[in-house]
Homo-oligomer: A and B are copies of this chain.
Amino acid sequence: MARPTRPGELLPQERQREILQRLRSRGRVMAAELAAELAASEDSIRRDLRELAAQGLCRRVYGGALPLSAAVAPLKQRRGEQVGRKLALARKAASLVREGQVLLIDAGSTNAAIAAALPERMGLTVVTNAPDIALALIEREGFEILLLGGRIDPHIGGAVGAQTLKELQRVRADLCFPGACAIDAGTGLWGFDSEESLLKRAMVEASGETVVVATSDKLGMLATHRIAALDEVQHLVVEHAVGRQARAAFSARGVRVHRAEPAAD
C-alpha cells in the first residue's frame, strides 16, 4: 500500500494533530497503539513522531513519545488509586468491542473511562445519555455519536426519565454498558435508583448483549430495584484481584467473565 491518502484515511497532518491531542489528554502515546488506533503502519507513526519531536512538540522515548514535560498534571491525577483500577477495567471492557458495533453507554464514571478507552477508527456508533461521555468522544474522532435527550439528573450525570426512555426505544444496539449496578450470581442485576434502573432495564432490552463492569464492591451485592436476570448478561468484567470462586459463580451460569489486567502504574 503506497497510497498517501485513501478516501477514509487520515492525512498526515491530521494524524499528527491527533497524536498531539492524545499526548495532552493521556500524558503519553505508544507507537503500536497509535498505529492501531489511527489505522496507519507503525513506520508512519514513527515518522510522525520524529517530525513532531523535530518541531519540539514532544519528546521521543523508546516505545512512543511523551509530552514536553508541560502537561504532567493530568497524568498525576490519573495516578489516583481508584482511577488506576477503573482504567484497567475500562481497557478490558473496551477490548470486547468489535468493528462497526453500536454501543449503548450509560452515564457514570466507570463508563466514561470505557468510552475514553474505545479504539478510534473502528466505525463505532455510541449512544449515550451522558454529556460527559458525548463530549469526550466529540473531542476524539471517528465516532458516530447519538445523544439521548431528556431531563438531566445532576447526581447521575446524565439524562433519565420518560423522555429518555422513549428515545431509547428507537434504538437497537449490539453492546450495552449499563452503569454502576450491583450484580449477584443468584438474582442478577440491581440498581439503586428507581428511575435510573428503569432506564438501565430499557438499555439491556435494546441491546443484543450486555456487559457489566463491576468494581469489587458491587459483586454479590443486592439493591432495591431489579434491572435484569443474570441470563440477560453475557459479559462481566471484574478486577484482577477477584478470586477464582467468585468468578466461577458467574461463569457457571453462562456469563463470560473477563478479568482486567493488574493496574500497572
- Which residues of chain B come closer than 8 Å to A75, judged between CB atoms? 138-139
Is the contact region of chain A dominated by helix, strand, or loop, or is it mixed?
Answer: mixed
Q: How many copies does the complex hold?
A: 2
Judged by a CB distance under 8 angstroms, whether A220 is at the interface is: no
Residue A61, interface by CB 8 Å:
yes
Interface presence of A64 (CB below 8 A)? yes
- With the chains together, A74 CA to B20 CA distance in Å? 12
A154 (CB) vs chain B CBs: closest residue: B138
Q: Which of B11, B72, B134 is close to A28, meaning CB atoms less than 8 Å apart?
A: B11
Q: Mark A140-161, 1 if CB is under 8 A from B, else 0.
A: 0101111111111010010100
Are B150 and A5 interface neighbours, CB within 8 A? no
B11 near A66 (CB under 8 angstroms)? yes
B63 near A11 with CB under 8 A, answer: yes
Asked if A13 contacts B139 (CB within 8 A), the reply is: no
The residues of B that contact A163 with a CB separation of less than 8 Å are 167
> Is B17's CB under 8 angstroms from A5's CB?
no
Does A44 have its Cβ within 8 Å of any Cβ on chain B? no
What residues on B are CB-neighbors of A21 within 8 Å? 74
**Closest-CB distance, A149 to chain B (whole angstroms):** 3
User: Are A135 and B138 neighbours in the complex by a CB distance under 8 Å?
Assistant: no
Partner of A12 from the list B61, B147, B150, B167 (CB cut-off 8 Å) is B61
Please, which residues of chain B bring their CB within 8 A of the CB of A28?
A: 11, 14
Q: Which of B13, B72, B134, B164 contacts A152 (CB 8 A)?
A: B134
Q: Is the CB of B146 within 8 A of A151?
A: yes
A56 near B: Cβ within 8 Å?
A: no
Q: Are B154 and A141 in contact, CB atoms less than 8 angstroms apart?
A: yes
A83 within 8 A of B: no
Q: Beyond A28-B14, A131-B131, A138-B157, is A4–B145 a contact (Cβ under 8 Å)? A: no
> A81–B55 Cα gap in the complex (Å)?
22
User: Is A7 positioned at the interface, with any CB of B under 8 Å from its CB?
Assistant: yes
